[in-house]
Amino acid sequence: MTRALTAAVIIGVLLGVLYMPPVAFAVAASVVLLIGWNEFSRLLQALGVDIAAAPGALVALALANSFLDGPSAAMLVLLVAVPLLALATLRDNYGDPRRLTFAIAGGFAGLAWLAIPMGAQIGIRYHNDGIAWLLFLYASVALGDSAAYYGGSRFGQHRLAPDLSPKKSIEGSVFGIVGSAAGGLALSPWIPGLPLWQAALVGAGLGLVGQAGDLIESSLKRTAGRKDSADLLPGHGGVLDRIDAHLPAGALLYAILRTGVLG
């Protein structure tokens, strides 16, 4: 019951923010990014890695919001963000080459895994039919997740990645991809000019990379000895536990939309 209530609140807040002016979504995404960055840095701290959390959060925030002006602006901000984060990390880990190496890798991974994908979702909101495309993203990931759980529970026989997530199965993964395709089809009527076959193909692709995001976070938590990234959301763990699949899926969808190949 607690998990269902939390999910209902999350969905209600998400829908409310989506239908507000785009800047409201950018603000909400920024808050999610900051919380996610904090959870990410704490997981790395459990591994003995210090990624200069506070300066890194500011850099990540600037990078994500640069997507308001498109990928060219994001690239310019990234070119500035990289040396700034490197300097901050060097300051905090000066004199310890091993700590510095892992901290640099962790900080840059955070930009790639959190800041850029969250920025991509901000960029999608400012795209034509941005609300519909974000609903497409969330529906594809959510239905894929539900289908993977059902298919894996009922038909799962072969483990997908036992060292990362022992309960996930190949059968569940296949069900998940089909479910994501169904999610894309369900949302296609709200996107003018989108053929059904493209809706299904894009939905399936989002589901596939979403599963990869889920496994990446599972690996990070398992390595850090944590069940959840945090305990912020009753029954759901932390923010990273909720957005792990949406991060790579959102980045992929943004890239597809920027190419203009759909329709």
Q: Model confidence over 202-250: pLDDT tens digits?
A: 999 999 999 999 999 999 999 998 888 988 888 778 999 999 999 999 9
pLDDT of residue 1: 66
Does the pLDDT at position 252 exceed 70? yes
Alpha-carbon span 87 to 104, nearest angstrom? 10
What percent of the chain has pLDDT above 90? 65
Alpha-carbon span 123 to 214, nearest angstrom? 22
Task: Tally the C-alpha atoms within 13 A of residue 145's C-alpha that lie toward its C-beta.
Answer: 18
Alpha-carbon span 6 to 18, nearest angstrom? 18
Q: For the whole model, what pTM was predicted?
A: 0.93
In 3D space, the residue among 259, 237, 243, 246 whose CA is nearest the CA of residue 207 turns out to be 246
